[in-house]
Amino acid sequence: MAKEKTSYSCTECGGTSPRWLGRCPQCESWNTLIETVVEAAAPAKNRFASLAKTSAVAVLADIEASEVDRTPTGIGELDRVLGGGIVEGGVVLIGGDPGIGKSTLLLQALDGLQRAGVPTLYVTGEESGAQVALRSRRLGLERSQVQVLAEIQLEKILATLATNQPSVAVIDSIQTMYSEQLTSAPGSVAQVRECAAHLTRAAKAGGTCIVLVGHVTKEGALAGPRVLEHMVDTVLYFEGDTHSSFRLVRAIKNRFGAVNEIGVFAMTEKGLKGVANPSAIFLSQHSEPVPGSCVLVTLEGTRPMLVEIQALVDSGGPSPRRLSVGLDRDRLAMLLAVLHRHAGVDCLDQDVFVNAVGGVRISEPAADLAVMLAITSSLRGRPLPRGFIAFGEVGLAGEVRPAPRGQERLREAAKLGFSVAVVPKANAPKKGSRDIEGLTIHAVDRVEEAMEIVRGLA
């Protein structure tokens, strides 16, 4: 193939330059130029020529709505986040920290599919065929018929996809692939985008479901899976602490299913195993209640889970620190201000650390009340009562707002043996309706009310 021309385009303003420059000549932002292939466009006869090829306008009601066909991978928790299984021509991006279990899960899934008679291809750019074989033996996938290709050059992979026509192909990982059209190194934004774009096109054209593995890079967004999110149909991220055995896979975008659905796995000797009843795995086991700990009932996708929120408030230096793991730091600063203004709880000269146990990431505002109660408990050195849970969003005016699907959360907590709850008024069962068995529910409208109730309980 003739080497096509490349140029550099700015990610900020879209301006171009024939060579690489540190600063964009148009918008003058720094380090925004990335290499792109210049498509050799045939000279257009007139400037509307390309429009002539668009498809005909149709009335929405007349377009046949066809449900997409899904092929289950056989791994229940993975199918759950995928929205039922893999889809023909669909492109899935799986991101996560190195070593969290991406390759393990995908090899297990491919083996399951292959055994069900679905032709598969595993393209490995990080490990040799022998290493993949070793892993498959460790996973107990004896006599696996999965096709393996150790290759990092995009053009060769595309050729293999065209000749083998697998139904599912895994590219592990997109950051190791390179196209010979570009001179930049594998893993650069330009290469990652170019390779993903070609693979996406190949998926749509050949009806292959392509799964791209992307490492979350230390630098965060740059060249990591983030730059690909808009191109693909489904984005899944692995979460979890590599030190604990539990892993969450969360769907953050899905054109074929629900978002924010999660799959829960445990890393075992024989790879990742689905956890069927995961609601209690993010609780740490205290024999006695300790200060600074509050259990939150969070709703992950369609299922409620209990997560312990821990806070440590300790005298800080001249500029006290606010750190959070698994929770939003800006939100923490806001909650501290609300605590101070509306509940008279003053931690302004203290270091405040908060942590969601087990490496789970909590983004829903319904965590607010539990975070505030954990902070207050740590500051006062007084534990919350045994069997205590809380949830509810807190606003800047100190009001406690309802969380979605409160009844479900309460039922899950009761099922796991929790006995006291502080929740927003709108989430408490209506007077006269049946209470939730075994659970004493305190309904609150304002954050100071919640603090008052907790003081009375402890």
Q: With CB cut-offs between 5 and 8 Å by kind, which of ligand TYD, Mg ion, none does residue 270 bind?
A: ligand TYD
Q: With CB cut-offs between 5 and 8 Å by kind, which of Mg ion, ligand TYD, none does residue 267 bind?
A: ligand TYD
Identify which of residues 170 and 422 has a Cβ nearer to ligand TYD in the complex. 170
Number of H helices, E strands in the chain: 9, 23
Identify which of residues 238 and 353 has a Cβ nearer to Mg ion in the complex. 238
Q: With CB cut-offs between 5 and 8 Å by kind, which of Mg ion, ligand TYD, none does residue 101 bind?
A: ligand TYD
Least distance to Mg ion from the beta carbon of 362, Å?
A: 26
Q: With CB cut-offs between 5 and 8 Å by kind, which of Mg ion, ligand TYD, none does residue 5 bind?
A: none
Identify which of residues 176 and 378 has a Cβ nearer to Mg ion in the complex. 176
Least distance to ligand TYD from the beta carbon of 317, Å?
A: 37
Cα–Cα separations (whole angstroms), residue 258 to 114, 220, 237, 364, 408: 26, 25, 14, 16, 18
Contact 351, 382 (CB under 8 A): no
Half-sphere exposure of 271 (CA within 13 A, CB side): 19
Least distance to ligand TYD from the beta carbon of 150, Å?
A: 15
For Mg ion, the binding residues (CB under 5 A) are: 103
- Short-list 124, 111, 21, CA closest to 74: 111
Identify which of residues 271 and 304 has a Cβ nearer to ligand TYD in the complex. 271
Contact 361, 328 (CB under 8 A): no
Contacts of 181 (CB under 8 A, 6+ apart): 3, 4, 6, 37, 194
Least distance to Mg ion from the beta carbon of 100, Å?
A: 9
Q: With CB cut-offs between 5 and 8 Å by kind, which of Mg ion, ligand TYD, none does residue 139 bind?
A: ligand TYD
For ligand TYD, the binding residues (CB under 6 A) are: 96, 98-104, 135, 138-139, 267, 269-271
Identify which of residues 70 and 215 has a Cβ nearer to ligand TYD in the complex. 215
Task: Go through 42-54 and write b for each residue having 16 or more CB atoms within 10 A of its CB, e for each that does not.
Answer: eeeeeeeeeeeee
Q: With CB cut-offs between 5 and 8 Å by kind, which of ligand TYD, Mg ion, none does residue 96 bind?
A: ligand TYD
Least distance to ligand TYD from the beta carbon of 101, Å?
A: 4
Least distance to ligand TYD from the beta carbon of 308, Å?
A: 24
Identify which of residues 104 and 293 has a Cβ nearer to Mg ion in the complex. 104
Sign of the Cα pseudo-torsion (299, 304, 305, 310, in order): positive
State whether residue 75 is helix, strand or coil: coil
Is 421 buried (19+), middle (13-18) or exposed (0-12) by CB count in 10 A?
A: buried
- Amino acid in position 393: E
Least distance to ligand TYD from the beta carbon of 408, Å?
A: 32
Identify which of residues 100 and 109 has a Cβ nearer to ligand TYD in the complex. 100
Contact 198, 234 (CB under 8 A): no
Q: With CB cut-offs between 5 and 8 Å by kind, which of ligand TYD, Mg ion, none does residue 138 bind?
A: ligand TYD
Question: How many residues are recorded in the chain?
Answer: 458
Least distance to ligand TYD from the beta carbon of 239, Å?
A: 12
